[in-house]
Structure 1
Amino acid sequence: MNTSVKTSTAPIDSGLEERLDLILDSIRDIKGKQIVRLDLRQLDDRPAEFFFICEGDSTTQVAAIAGNVQKRMKNELGDLPKTASGGRHANWICLDYFDVVVHVFYPETRTFYELEDLWSDAVITEYETL
Structure 2
Amino acid sequence: MSKRTYISQHTAPEVPDEQLPPDPALEGLVRRIAAAAGDKRALDVVAIDLRGASAYTDAFVIATGRTDRQAKAIFDGITEDLKHEGERLLPQRTEGEQEARWILADYGDVVVHVFVPEARAFYRLESLWGDRPRIDVSDVAPERSTDGPQGASAEGPLGA
Please indicate the TM-score interval, normalised by the length of the shorter structure. 0.7 to 0.9
Whole-Å separation in 1 of the counterparts to 2:27 and 2:61: 13
Q: Percent identity?
A: 35
Whole-Å separation in 2 of the counterparts to 1:66 and 1:12: 26
Q: Secondary structure at the match of 1:110?
A: helix
Letter in 2 for 1:49: D
* Structure 2 spans left out of the alignment, 5+ residues: 1-17, 145-160
Tell whether the 8 Å contact from 1:87 to 1:93 is kept in structure 2 after alignment: yes
Compare relative contact order (CA 8 Å, sep 6+) and give the higher one, 1 or 2. Answer: 1
Q: 2:56 aligns with which of 47, 53, 68?
A: 47
TM-score normalized by the length of structure 2: 0.70
TM-score normalized by the length of structure 1: 0.85
- Corresponding residue number in structure 2 for 1:61: 70
**More strand by proportion, 1 or 2?**
1
**Deviation string, structure 1 residues 9-43 (Cα, Å, up to 9, x no partner):** 33333332321121011000000001111101132
* Structure 1 spans left out of the alignment, 5+ residues: 1-7
**Deviation string, structure 1 residues 38-69 (Cα, Å, up to 9, x no partner):** 101132x4431000111010111000000010
Give the paired residue count: 123
Q: Secondary structure at the match of 2:84?
A: helix
For the pair 1:30 / 2:44, whether they are aligned, the reply is no
- Corresponding residue number in structure 2 for 1:20: 30
Q: 2:118 aligns with which of 83, 89, 108?
A: 108
Deviation of the 1:129 alpha carbon: 1.7
Whole-Å separation in 1 of the counterparts to 2:133 and 2:55: 13
Deviation of the 1:123 alpha carbon: 0.9
- Corresponding residue number in structure 2 for 1:89: 99
Query: 4+ runs of 1 displaced by more than 4 Å?
Result: none
**Deviation string, structure 1 residues 65-114 (Cα, Å, up to 9, x no partner):** 00010111110031100101100010000010011000000000011111
Whole-Å separation in 2 of the counterparts to 1:46 and 1:110: 23
- Corresponding residue number in structure 2 for 1:10: 20
Q: Secondary structure at the match of 1:51?
A: strand
